Amino acid sequence: MDQRHILVTGGAGYIGSHMTLALLEAGERPLVIDNLSTGSRAVVPAGVPLFEGNVGDAEFVGRIMDAHPIEAIIHFAASIVVPESVTKPLAYYGNNTANARTLLDCAIKRGVPHMVFSSTAAVYGEPERTPVEEDDPTKPINPYGRSKLMVEWMLADVAQAHPFSYAALRYFNVAGADPQGRTGQSTPNATHLIKVAVEAALGKRPGLDIYGTDYPTTDGSCIRDYVHVSDLAQAHLDALRYLRDGKPSITCNIGYANGYSVLEVIEVVKRVSGVDFEVRIKGRRAGDPAALIASNQRALSALNWTPHHDDLEQIVRDALAWERRLG
């Protein structure tokens, strides 16, 4: 095996910490960069070097790359809250788009051959059909989606111009936690539905607000495709293998091709936790598309991705177990 390192940006965060565990289990040598703005040192496994700083700091990133040969970058570090991107667009274009450019520039100057990029279903905006396929139009309806789509464009241009290949993985709604309880979502003031719902079930917040029940969906609440974070980490390992095999750059949806409404998710959280927490119906939240469901054929066939946790109850059970552990 190539003994160069895999650089995980945002490796002290929710998805990045699952990735680092998966890399270690696969016999890889991860290095973590994280500015600890939302991440936590505690979820970086023992023995994995953590460099505290910003991926937009070329001098900092360059020093790490000069000292450690890097075979691939898995780039998670980003801002991820859709409604926040609407009120703070420049923060999103800075952190997500401009910082990715700096990171790529450092990588290309040093001949790093591969990147796996955390893209998002938000690049589609309000899809014309569901399940949405990768070649369907990308018309993001919020700054978050646009900040990520611009990085996809940059990657495509860079891969044309340099000896470099990438996998852009368009995540749908990532949720759950490591089934062995080693890491999970620790983000303070989380806004994501399943995290908020399990906090409500454990009495950590006074119930949950539903943002809109007047969407053109079966029960009026928004529909999303919830994917277990451990299956998502596995998709990155599969993408890494794909790129190492010398295959061409690729863009893949990562979801289960299954949609659940907000009301259905809340019902599952109530059932699994046994707690009937308070739910309040509010108006729509800015930037929310009505329905987002992945076609995952490309990930299954090209990456050979095999999901093992395609089960909303398991996602909720694992999220609850981690939330209890957080205390």
Q: Name the residues annotated as catalytic.
A: 144
Per rule CB under 6 A, is residue 193 in the interface with ligand UFG? yes
The DSSP result for 301-317, as a single string, is: HHS----S---HHHHHH
Per rule CB under 6 A, is residue 293 in the interface with ligand UFG? no
Q: Which of 112, 121, 168, 252 binds ligand UFG (CB under 6 A)?
A: 121
Looking at the Cβ atoms of 121 and 316, the one nearer to ligand UFG is: 121
How many residues bind ligand UFG, per CB under 6 A? 21
Per rule CB under 6 A, is residue 173 in the interface with ligand UFG? yes
* d(C-alpha 251, C-alpha 292), whole Å: 17
* d(C-alpha 116, C-alpha 8), whole Å: 10
Minimum CB separation of residue 326 from ligand UFG in Å reads: 18
Question: Which distant-in-sequence residues (6+ apart) come within 8 Å of 135 by Cβ?
Answer: none
Per rule CB under 6 A, is residue 149 in the interface with ligand UFG? no
Q: Which window, 91-99, 187-195, 229-237, 271-279, contacts ligand UFG (CB under 6 A)?
A: 187-195
Q: Which of 2, 209, 214, 219 binds ligand UFG (CB under 6 A)?
A: 209
Looking at the Cβ atoms of 63 and 205, the one nearer to ligand UFG is: 205
Question: Which distant-in-sequence residues (6+ apart) come within 8 Å of 217 by Cβ?
Answer: 223, 261, 290, 291
Looking at the Cβ atoms of 107 and 239, the one nearer to ligand UFG is: 239
Residue 112 φ then ψ, to 5°: -65, 125
Question: Is residue 232 exposed (0-12), middle (13-18) or buried (19+ Cβ within 10 Å)?
Answer: buried
Per rule CB under 6 A, is residue 285 in the interface with ligand UFG? yes
Q: Which window, 2-10, 15-23, 204-212, 302-310, contacts ligand UFG (CB under 6 A)?
A: 204-212
Taking CB atoms, the residue at the shortest distance from ligand UFG is 222
Residue 156, CA distances (Å) to 27, 139, 161, 277 in order? 29, 17, 9, 46
* d(C-alpha 156, C-alpha 166), whole Å: 8
Q: Which tokens sit at 216?
A: 């053109």
Per rule CB under 6 A, is residue 146 in the interface with ligand UFG? no
Residue 16 φ then ψ, to 5°: -60, -35
Q: Which window, 40-48, 84-92, 203-211, 230-238, contacts ligand UFG (CB under 6 A)?
A: 203-211
Nearest Cα neighbor of 16 from 36, 181, 195, 91 is: 36
Per rule CB under 6 A, is residue 84 in the interface with ligand UFG? no
Minimum CB separation of residue 173 from ligand UFG in Å reads: 4
Minimum CB separation of residue 323 from ligand UFG in Å reads: 15
Residue numbers of the site for ligand UFG (CB under 6 A)?
80, 82, 120-122, 172-173, 191-193, 196, 208-211, 222, 224, 262, 285, 288, 292
